[in-house]
Amino acid sequence: MHVKKRIGAAVCLLLGVIIATFMAGREANPPDRDRETMSASEEQIQEPTGMFKWNDKEVWSVEWEGRNQSWILQRERAAAEESMLGSGWLLNGSKLPVSQAESRLRKLRELGQDGGTRRASSLSHEVIVGTITVTLSQLEEPEVFLIAVEPDHSEQVWILRSGDPLAYSVSKNAYLQLERMQ
């Protein structure tokens, strides 16, 4: 009987250590609020994703290659050389008011905040319908985002970020509105 008590105490101690270790790990690594983990079905997640994370002052250029229209938003070279604080912007080579450039950048950032995510590998026969290339002042290489649709669900638009295992759902109306901006 004395042995049973010792075994019982050892089991309780072991369970206590396991629970304490588990709880310490959770406190040391709080969940990432920007990207929730995939649900059991690995489908839609309702939390905003915030895939486009940058400060507008860091943006050197944005190139939009869409199915229906393409455009390039870039800082004027003189403004860019003044430590990115200058206010000169060009749209397809023509001067653009700062407010319109900032509005376009804001709408692009907001594009990635409306929908959820799912594993990019779960997309079925996706078709790439465009690209978004963003060049930031502090990066040597531009960041490329692919715009995809599934033939069976063409009302749903997905953005695939280079090197990211997730596909980001975006509003088709917001996507088309941004593509058509001139």
| pLDDT tens by residue, 119-166 | 999 988 889 999 999 998 766 789 999 999 988 888 889 999 888 899
Residue 51 resides in a domain: no
Q: Are residues 73 and 122 in the same domain?
A: yes
Q: Are residues 100 and 144 in the same domain?
A: yes
Residues of the chain with pLDDT under 50: 2-3, 9-18, 20-49, 80, 83-84
In terms of Cα–Cα distance, which of 81, 106, 71 is closest to 180? Answer: 71
Residue 90 resides in a domain: yes
Domain that holds residue 10: 1-30
Longest C-alpha distance within the chain, in Å? 89
Q: Are residues 142 and 91 in the same domain?
A: yes
The H or E element containing residue 145 is: strand 143-150
Instruction: Give the number of domains in the chain.
Output: 2
Fill in the amino acid letter for 130: G
Q: Are residues 24 and 61 in the same domain?
A: no
pTM of the model: 0.66
